[in-house]
Amino acid sequence: MNPDTPLQLLGGLTAREFLRDYWQKKPLLIRQAIPGFESPISPDELAGLSLEEEVESRLVLEHGERPWELRRGPFAEDTYQNLPERDWTLLVQAVDQFVPDVAELLEQFRFLPSWRIDDVMISFAAPGGGVGPHFDNYDVFLLQGQGRRNWKVGQMCDAESALLPHADLRILADFQQTDEWVLEPGDMLYLPPRLAHFGIAEDDCMTYSVGFRAPSAAEVLTHFTDFLAQFLPDEERYSDAGAAPVSDPHEIQRDALDRLKALLSEHMSDERLLLTWFGQFMTEPRYPELVAGTEVEEDDLLGAIEDGAVLIRNASARLAWSEVDVGLVLFASGQSRLLPANLRDLLKLICAAEALHLENLGQWLADDEGRKLLLELVKQGSLEFADE
Ligand code: SIN
Ligand code: CO
């Protein structure tokens, strides 16, 4: 993708301009980001998803049992018969994993790394509905899918920002509005992390939120050090070989800190392990139980492809690849695999192609390593047969 091509999705900005001026910095309203956008799923279908066991959903009622009531799905069918006319929102997480037409929307966001994208959440709000003024810790694109929604944006927030006393909802006690827009279907609003925002439905309204993943610094440190620790033998310890005599036996001297810092930086600067951890972490599926492998033999897999079978990415799987000094690494749903450099085009194909079949796999089916890789990805569940 050429970073200097103006994109309709970004209101005519190029990816380079958007990244330079807005991404992670300030909001951007884009009128008709997707001209004539029609939601590929209806409010009834969204409500239907919220009845399913494996789907993560929430209802927020502004005047429920108490102000701002949160209910968690899965819901029962009669839930929707007993809701008031106004002032409630249904939010369904990761709809892209359950509705292929919603996943397709993500193709428009390929100007950003795919491993940064978390999911497409879809909300349906009755008139007046909204989840209250709040901030999120991640970037989000809010695409209007149906009806009209008033969006207000406010101040930059942080962990110190005062919240209303509510166990489950993070509603800001103080919202300082700076801007306001009404979005119609196809309009989109980009919000950087931590910017206060407040959406209120003007009528029956659907909003698509393309949300991003960014590990917190605390997660990076705890998860990476846990990962590193698996490779460190118990006998590797704090060592003070060559220490100078102490002037006071009770003092921890600078020299001890320097030794600790050397120990930490020796391990923390292992780039190969850092990449391995990061790739695994960023491709961890949101719902690992939905990435279930299949037992299959190499001959059967090859035979099926030769007979016209099509392999697609499991909608819950996540894929990314990277280069290392000794070859390539494929990250597939939380696992990593070191591969020879000549498989580069196959890795790119596996990560990017909508479907893998005889035509686009072509020569790779004759390559031992290539075949082995496809087989492993099917066994692991990241790839599956299209009609499964
Ligand atoms: C919504 O769609 O109602 C909420 C989206 C958000 O504010 O993050
Ligand atoms: Co939000």
CATH code of 368's domain: 3.40.366.30
Q: Is 15 in the same domain as 106? A: yes
- Model confidence, pTM: 0.95
User: Measured from the CB, is residue 136 less than 6 Å from ligand 1?
Assistant: yes
pLDDT digits (tens, 9 = 90+) for 219-252: 999 999 999 999 999 999 999 999 999 999 999 9
- Nearest ligand to residue 195 Cα: 2
Mutate to test the pocket of ligand 1, among 60, 87, 90, 123 (most ligand atoms within 8 A of CB): 123
Residues 6+ apart with CB under 8 A from 88: 59, 60, 61, 62, 64, 125, 126, 129
Residue 349 to residue 35: CA distance in whole angstroms: 30
Q: Is 180 in the same domain as 304? A: no
Q: How many Å lie between the centroid of ligand 1 and the Cα of residue 141? A: 10
Local confidence band at 166 (pLDDT 50, 70, 90 cut-offs): confident
Q: Is 168 in the same domain as 72? A: yes
pLDDT digits (tens, 9 = 90+) for 10-38: 999 999 999 999 999 999 999 999 999 99
Q: Is 19 in the same domain as 128? A: yes
Residue 388 pLDDT exceeds 70:
no
User: Measured from the CB, is residue 131 less than 6 Å from ligand 1?
Assistant: yes
pLDDT digits (tens, 9 = 90+) for 278-319: 999 999 999 999 999 999 999 999 999 999 999 999 999 999
At residue 112, the pLDDT reads 98
Residue 27 resides in a domain: yes
Residue 74 pLDDT exceeds 90:
yes
Residue 60 resides in a domain: yes
Residue 136 to residue 196: CA distance in whole angstroms: 8
User: Measured from the CB, is residue 276 less than 6 Å from ligand 1?
Assistant: no
Local confidence band at 264 (pLDDT 50, 70, 90 cut-offs): very high
At residue 1, the pLDDT reads 83
* End residue of a domain, out of 158, 184, 212: 212
Q: Kindly give the number of the ligand 1 atom that is closest to the alpha carbon of 207.
A: 2
Q: Record the tokens describing residue 184, joined without a space.
A: 């119609």
Q: Kindly give the number of the ligand 1 atom that is closest to the alpha carbon of 129.
A: 3
Q: Is 188 in the same domain as 324? A: no
Residue 81 resides in a domain: yes
Output the average pLDDT for the chain. 96
User: Measured from the CB, is residue 209 less than 6 Å from ligand 1?
Assistant: yes
108-146 b/e (C-beta count within 10 Å ≥ 16 → b): bbebbebbebbbbbbbbbbbbbbbbbbbbeebbbbbbbb
Peptide bond preceding 74 in cis form (omega within 30 of 0): yes
* End residue of a domain, out of 150, 180, 212: 212
Residue 227 resides in a domain: no
Q: Kindly give the number of the ligand 1 atom that is closest to the alpha carbon of 136.
A: 8
* End residue of a domain, out of 212, 235, 269: 212
User: Measured from the CB, is residue 39 less than 6 Å from ligand 1?
Assistant: no
Range of the domain at 371: 288-385
Q: Is 123 in the same domain as 26? A: yes
Lowest mean pLDDT across 60-69, 268-277, 336-345, 378-387: 60-69
User: Measured from the CB, is residue 183 less than 6 Å from ligand 1?
Assistant: no
What average pLDDT does the segment 31-46 reach?
98
What average pLDDT does the segment 58-77 reach?
90
Q: How many Å lie between the centroid of ligand 2 and the Cα of residue 259? A: 45
Is the Cβ–Cβ distance between 196 and 157 less than 8 Å?
yes
| Alpha carbon distances (Å) from 259 to 33, 218, 262, 328 | 55, 23, 5, 34
Q: Kindly give the number of the ligand 1 atom that is closest to the alpha carbon of 134.
A: 7
Mutate to test the pocket of ligand 1, among 188, 207, 208, 210 (most ligand atoms within 8 A of CB): 207
pLDDT digits (tens, 9 = 90+) for 202-220: 999 999 999 999 999 999 9
Q: How many Å lie between the centroid of ligand 2 and the Cα of residue 135? A: 6
Q: How many Å lie between the centroid of ligand 1 and the Cα of residue 123? A: 7
Q: Is 293 in the same domain as 190? A: no
Q: How many Å lie between the centroid of ligand 2 and the Cα of residue 184? A: 18
| Residue corresponding to tokens 């196959």 | 346
Q: Is 37 in the same domain as 125? A: yes
Residue 266 resides in a domain: no
Residue 126 resides in a domain: yes
Q: How many Å lie between the centroid of ligand 1 and the Cα of residue 205? A: 11
Q: Is 58 in the same domain as 191? A: yes
Residue 190 to residue 328: CA distance in whole angstroms: 34
Residues 6+ apart with CB under 8 A from 279: 115, 320, 322, 329, 331, 336
Q: How many Å lie between the centroid of ligand 1 and the Cα of residue 56? A: 15
What average pLDDT does the segment 183-190 reach?
98
Q: Is 199 in the same domain as 296? A: no
What is the rounded end-to-end Cα distance, in angstroms, of the chain?
Answer: 31
At residue 167, the pLDDT reads 74
CATH number assigned to the domain comprising residue 31: 2.60.120.650
User: Measured from the CB, is residue 117 less than 6 Å from ligand 1?
Assistant: no
Q: Is 63 in the same domain as 201? A: yes
Q: Is the dihedral of CA 278, 279, 282, 283 positive or negative?
A: negative
Count: domains in the chain: 2
Residue 248 resides in a domain: no
User: Measured from the CB, is residue 140 less than 6 Å from ligand 1?
Assistant: yes
Minimum CA distance residue for ligand 1 atom 5: 209
Q: How many Å lie between the centroid of ligand 1 and the Cα of residue 199? A: 7
Taking the CA atoms of residue 154, residue 160, residue 164 and residue 167 in that order, the dihedral angle to the nearest 10 degrees is 130
Write the DSSP assignment of 225-255 as a string of letters: HHHHHTTS-TT-----TTPPPPSSTT---HH
Residue 245 resides in a domain: no
